[in-house]
Structure 1
Amino acid sequence: MRALALLVGRRLLYGAVTLLAVSFLIFGGTELLPGDVAEAILGQGATPEAVAAIRADLDLDRPAWERYADWLGGILSGDLGTSLTSKRPIDEMIGARLGNTLTLAAVAAIVSVPLALLLGLLAALYRNTIFDRVLSVGTVSTVSMPEFFVGYLLILVFAILLGWLPPNSNAVANPQLGLWDQLVALALPCATLTVVVVAHMMRMTRAAVINILTAPFIEMATLKGVSRARRVFRHAFPNALSPIINVVVLNLAYLVVGVVVVEVVFVYPGMGQLMVDHVAKRDVPVVQACAMIFAATYVLLNMSADILAILANPRLRHPK
């Protein structure tokens, strides 16, 4: 128990240090963006005096290290700051958008995780058959395609050619829509994320299960006459949970963090779309807040994957 507590504490410490380093990189990266919100507000014809006055009014003339310290202190106290363009509190702007992003990621996870595990187990059960080869070719093809290409391909087929689904998902922001209409609006972005993440989870599940199938206790079960399906589902799968849990949680992290491109493609009113919109406006505090939320989500889910892997595999609790 003590070794487990030490390992979990170490993972939490690594996560905190990682987030601190990420905050520095985010702040430094936004500082390197060309132009600023003062120039975006006043336009290209603004005089240097007017730009300097706006910068002073927005506290952009202070040294970068002072602004970083204030920004980091605000995040630690739960204050994300105020938008430079709209003067609204950033937490109010992010609230509904974060809910939309989490909803999209949750629906995609509910569809993709069981589907990936089932396909991975079936591929292991029927490995080296035509089914396994077709599935492998399909997954390799989907892994090699970027999200925006998958999204535009689905729009072309299901929205333009067949006319079954709407080409964009901005209707999700309409509170008057019923549950069915909400699901219809979510269908294409959810399908895009599912296609992207299922392939990776399926291949890792297949590889982990096949690796366990070579273990001596599986050979003993074979000699006892245990059916192949029972060996895969009852004996191999539970013992392969550690790497499978790890890859599933990492893909869940991707579902939350990697939605930026998908949200832009489908005009989905989520965190990614908010971040892209405010990059164009040079509204640095909003961009920084969105980036930190994405980073914190990714780090938290990565830590969860490590901890769940430790709990699922007792051998990891006693590192050499």
Structure 2
Amino acid sequence: MNHEGIGRRMVRRLLLLVLCMFLLSIIVFFMARLAPGDPLQSFYGDALELMTEAEKDAARVRLGLDAGLISQYVHWLGQVMQGDFGLSFKYKMPVLAVMKPLLGNTLLLGFLAYIIVFGLATVLAVFCALYEERFVDKAICKIGTVSYYIPGFWLGVVMVLVFSVNLGWLPSSGAYDVGRKGDILNRIQHLIMPLFVMVATHLWYYAYMIRNKLLDEVRKDYVLFAKAKGCSRREIVWKHCLRNVAPTIVNIMAISVPHITGGTVVVEAVFNYPGIGNLAVESAKYHDYNLLMVTVLLTGLAVFVSSFLAQTINEEIDPRMKDMEAVRW
């Protein structure tokens, strides 16, 4: 094993990650501050209308909003380098203190949805590849296409009306009932509908891509050779084709992170689920700059890290990719 080569690749990717996060922070910082709206409204609420212009100017000085945008960014970046992400204008608390109790909820929902979506997508894709152009394959394709085009917010509202309002089987909002944070069964009850909406609206999109990649693999020459040797279609698809398209599946999983993350924002809004997605929407709505910066950067970090992990995993699955990267550099 070439430890020196591995070390160089890791250093390059770490530097690239830092550069990406730096550029993302610049874009979000200036776009947020150039958007119309007054962050003082978020901090003072209705009391802002009773303040004089002198009091408003003094408030901007206290919150660091009086300097030029470049100076504000340099000041913000200097604080971040010291581990201080600033104060939330809306909650009047440190940003990290606001996010800490909500981060676990979003990670739980997003991780479970991610695993279920790709687990079921792979199984569905293999099943369709085994029975290509038969009734089962056609039925799954049609049902999957219909489910993909159902708006997530509409499906969520319908589920709340049916299972919460009419039947009373499931809670309509929250991550858990008051005082039952550690109750696993109660958390599962609150997760059922949000998870169902996320899986139903994302599953077929990825299952269809994996299905097509498998079908392309099934038509290659080595499959004909395997059939000539007496291998069954099931054995060929599971043992050979699926393994060969594994790097593609990993890449699809990597690029799906922002897609599924966007789905959590919709689901959290519909079910009033306390998480980072809901917090990001609120921070943008109320011009809570510091909170918006951290929520967006955290999402960007997840996207970048997943891409780098996918590339690393692909290199382990297919060592030829290491040689390709060495040539590029």
Does residue 78 (structure 1) correspond to residue 80 (structure 2)? The answer is no
For residues 226 and 283 of structure 1, the distance between their equivalents in structure 2, rounded to whole angstroms, comes to 61
For residues 173 and 253 of structure 1, the distance between their equivalents in structure 2, rounded to whole angstroms, comes to 31
Note the C-alpha offset of 1:230: 0.7
Does residue 127 (structure 1) correspond to residue 132 (structure 2)? The answer is yes
Cα shift readout 1:179-228 (whole Å, capped 9, x = no counterpart): 11110011111111111221122112212211211222211110111111
For residues 123 and 290 of structure 2, the distance between their equivalents in structure 1, rounded to whole angstroms, comes to 43
For residues 71 and 173 of structure 1, the distance between their equivalents in structure 2, rounded to whole angstroms, comes to 36
Aligned to 1:210: 215
The residue matched to 1:128 in structure 2 has which SS? Answer: coil
1:19 to 18, 21, 43: 21
Q: TM-score, normalised by structure 1?
A: 0.90
Q: TM-score, normalised by structure 2?
A: 0.88
Instruction: Indicate if the aligned counterparts of 1:117 and 1:205 stay in contact, CA closer than 8 A.
Output: yes
The residue matched to 1:171 in structure 2 has which SS? Answer: coil
Instruction: Indicate if the aligned counterparts of 1:12 and 1:303 stay in contact, CA closer than 8 A.
Output: no
For residues 174 and 272 of structure 1, the distance between their equivalents in structure 2, rounded to whole angstroms, comes to 23
The residue matched to 2:256 in structure 1 has which SS? Answer: helix
CA RMSD after TM alignment: 2.3
1:154 to 134, 156, 159: 159
For residues 148 and 11 of structure 2, the distance between their equivalents in structure 1, rounded to whole angstroms, comes to 35
Residue 35 of structure 2 aligns with an amino acid whose one-letter code is L
Aligned to 1:32: 34
Aligned to 1:243: 248
Does residue 287 (structure 1) correspond to residue 292 (structure 2)? The answer is yes
Note the C-alpha offset of 1:257: 5.1
The residue matched to 2:173 in structure 1 has which SS? Answer: coil
Does residue 43 (structure 1) correspond to residue 45 (structure 2)? The answer is no
For residues 75 and 178 of structure 2, the distance between their equivalents in structure 1, rounded to whole angstroms, comes to 33
Q: Percent identity?
A: 26
For residues 295 and 10 of structure 2, the distance between their equivalents in structure 1, rounded to whole angstroms, comes to 27
Aligned to 1:109: 114
The residue matched to 2:176 in structure 1 has which SS? Answer: helix
The residue matched to 2:86 in structure 1 has which SS? Answer: coil
Cα shift readout 1:39-74 (whole Å, capped 9, x = no counterpart): 342334543222212111211101111111122233
Which 10-residue stretch deviates more, 27-36 or 79-88? 79-88
Question: Residues 307 and 224 (structure 1 numbering): CA distance in 2 closer, same or farther, change over 3 Å?
Answer: same
Instruction: Indicate if the aligned counterparts of 2:175 and 2:191 stay in contact, CA closer than 8 A.
Output: no
Question: Residues 159 and 284 (structure 1 numbering): CA distance in 2 closer, same or farther, change over 3 Å?
Answer: same
Residue 207 of structure 1 aligns with an amino acid whose one-letter code is N
Which 10-residue stretch deviates more, 196-205 or 41-50? 41-50
Aligned to 1:194: 199
Residue 210 of structure 1 aligns with an amino acid whose one-letter code is L
Structure 2 unaligned segments of length 5 or more: list them. Answer: none
Aligned to 2:275: 270
1:56 to 32, 55, 61: 61
Instruction: Indicate if the aligned counterparts of 1:35 and 1:282 stay in contact, CA closer than 8 A.
Output: yes
